[in-house]
Structure 1
Amino acid sequence: MRADRLVSMVLLLRQHGQLSAAALARELEVSTRTVLRDIEALSAAGVPVYAERGRHGGFALLPGFRTELTGLNHDEALALLVAGSRRGAQTFGLAPALASAMRKVVDALPESYRATAADAAERLLIDPETDLLARRLTPEEVPDAVAAEVRRAVFAGHKLRIHYAAADQPAQWRTIDPIGLVTARGQAYLLATRSGADRTYRLSRILAAQELDEPAQRPDRVDLGRAWQERSTRFRTGGDQVTVRLRLHPSRRGELAGTALAILTEEPDADDWLMLEATFQDSRHAEWALWQLATQAEALAPQWLRTALHDRATAMAARYRADE
């Protein structure tokens, strides 16, 4: 237990630079007397820890002791932080850095651990490229140069100039204040503000990017999870949403729930089917979602959706009509 606590103390000092005995005691959940004894033990073991006297004093490590034993550079360390999602590293342009970092990590392992870790890694497959139905999960492609420029602006806190192609619109240059990067379901997004208003940009639609020298207008700290949730909520509740009344075979309910913005009402219908009301982002989203369900769903309202699906099915039938 004490060995673990000593390692934790070194890591705390490395991360925070300087901490008082009281702060270390709170972090380690021990008494200040125990902290002082541990500091003495570290010094006796050759760890260069020293005390700063005075009201704002505390304990710190000599700067030379902060050398990274693994030799990881900035991008490699960053890649490890997002390595929980391999596709996330790929999307943000960090795949080469991740591979390099992992080689260094393996090389730093003690010989006795290296073979065990390699064997265990062979028995884990995380986030494969296809699911059980052999559907390929392909993340959006983002040029490395664009991803690198966006990353630099986000981390440096600088304004960013992007050449952005919004859906169904010609590409335009715009200057924004970047806040953070988010990856969701294989797609990467840049959260930013423009003239003080919240904006969300798909990285795959950024054709070019340029980090500017001017500081970005943004808060020093951000809760990215909360910001993403708030923007997701505004996206789902705003815009040209469409409410659809439909009949659905129960076997496809999960698919509808994963596609629609929300299922508003649900009750049993004849032939063990379901009668539902669901909302979609817009008319195109509604038509696409109902088309995916084929004959196991029937749109009852609005009428324009029934007409659109009828016309699409008629055109498809004509395309594949057998030659007379």
Structure 2
Amino acid sequence: MRADRLVSLVLLLRQHGRLSAAALARELEVSTRTVLRDIEALSAAGVPVYTERGRNGGFALLPGFRTELTGLNHDEALALLVAGSRRGAQAFGLGSALASAMLKVVDALPESYRNTAAGAAERLLIDPETDLLSRRLVSEEVPDAIAAEVLRAVFAGHRLQIHYAAVDQTPEWRTVDPIGLVTIRDRAYLLATRSGADRTYRLSRVLAAKELAEPAQRPDRVDLGRAWQERSTRFRTDGDQVTVLVRVNPARREDLLSTALAVHAEEPDADGWLRLEVAFQDSRHAEWALWQLSTNAEALAPRSLRAALRDRAAAIVTRYEVSP
């Protein structure tokens, strides 16, 4: 790992010209003391890195220095394959590998392309931490150690033990046969089988993981897209789901669909609104989703949902009708 960090340090200096110890520490996610030790190691190895003192000083390489440092390791190559979604790389514990790989890719470009790419990159901001309303976009965190253990088991084709905390259940150890990993809307899922039955586990709920030496019982090849679609279909049709008939303002249609499990029917209503038949996980889910839409949606059926929304609205009115 230190060798990869030294390579990244040299590439950062090549691309930025001069960086302070604090800036290098932020980029490499280490302490400034570690950066100083790495600088000493590079100097001892013959890399022409020098110090510029003063207010705008820092570390730099002698002009014209270049060496072949662009070979990608396994994790970096894998990170590039999932780089279509930076958050996907983060979800699988490959965020640092992706950053290191991109440094090497940029360094491998011809100088004219490199300058053009750097200028273009300044014009793009992908997946900022907040939206236009300054709401922080919360993604589920998966500890690197757990993600690495799960990845090893998936790629090696070994069985996996996970300490899993299912919703409203006491965490317990489970032995599963891993099939693959899926990330969607900043959430990562492990597709597996347990005692021959299909199972899907959210990685953020895995409290610990251990790769076993025993081979996993799984087919040699898998169509992960098809497997995910099949499980998604079963999830939407199994359990205690509730079907709701709802009228919605067309401007809020996507907001409604983003919370529903499935859409069974849709047609225009007489006043320009839309009438949809949608499925939710349960009555509580349906009530929460429609409450978010305020007066931009109206539940027509079932009657129990209309009553629940009416009672909630009445409670709000009661709370605020008397001045403090």
* Alpha-carbon spacing, 1:306–1:155, altered in 2? closer, same or farther (3 Å): same
* Alpha-carbon spacing, 1:281–1:157, altered in 2? closer, same or farther (3 Å): same
2:214 alignment counterpart: 214
Q: Deviations over 1:134-177 (max 9, x none)?
A: 44332211111111111111111111101111112121111000
1:97 alignment counterpart: 97
Q: Which runs of 5+ in 1 are unaligned?
A: 1-67
1:244 alignment counterpart: 244
Matching of residues 64-103 of structure 1 within 5 Å: 70-103=70-103
**Displacement after TM superposition at 1:216 (Å):** 0.6
Q: Which runs of 5+ in 2 are unaligned?
A: 1-67
Alignment identity in percent?
A: 79
**Displacement after TM superposition at 1:284 (Å):** 2.3
Q: Deviations over 1:99-118 (max 9, x none)?
A: 11112222222323221221
TM-score (norm 1): 0.73
**Displacement after TM superposition at 1:90 (Å):** 0.8
**Displacement after TM superposition at 1:257 (Å):** 2.5
Count residues in correspondence.
Answer: 257
Conservation of the 8 A alpha-carbon contact between 1:85 and 1:127: no
TM-score (norm 2): 0.73
Conservation of the 8 A alpha-carbon contact between 2:248 and 2:297: yes
Matching of residues 270-281 of structure 1 within 5 Å: 271-281=271-281
Which secondary structure state, in structure 1, belongs to the residue aligned with residue 191 of structure 2?
strand
CA distance in 1, matches of 2:213, 2:76: 25
* Alpha-carbon spacing, 1:295–1:194, altered in 2? closer, same or farther (3 Å): same
1:175 aligns with 2:175: yes
1:188 alignment counterpart: 188
* Alpha-carbon spacing, 1:145–1:312, altered in 2? closer, same or farther (3 Å): farther
Which secondary structure state, in structure 2, belongs to the residue aligned with residue 124 of structure 1?
coil
1:129 alignment counterpart: 129
CA distance in 1, matches of 2:305, 2:217: 44
Give the alignment's Cα RMSD to 1 decimal: 2.1
2:307 alignment counterpart: 307
* Alpha-carbon spacing, 1:114–1:294, altered in 2? closer, same or farther (3 Å): same
Conservation of the 8 A alpha-carbon contact between 2:153 and 2:211: yes
Matching of residues 20-39 of structure 1 within 5 Å: none
1:264 alignment counterpart: 264
Give the letter aligned to residue 288 of structure 2. W
* Alpha-carbon spacing, 1:102–1:167, altered in 2? closer, same or farther (3 Å): same
CA distance in 2, matches of 1:116, 1:273: 48
Conservation of the 8 A alpha-carbon contact between 1:91 and 1:141: yes
Bigger-Rg structure (1/2):
1
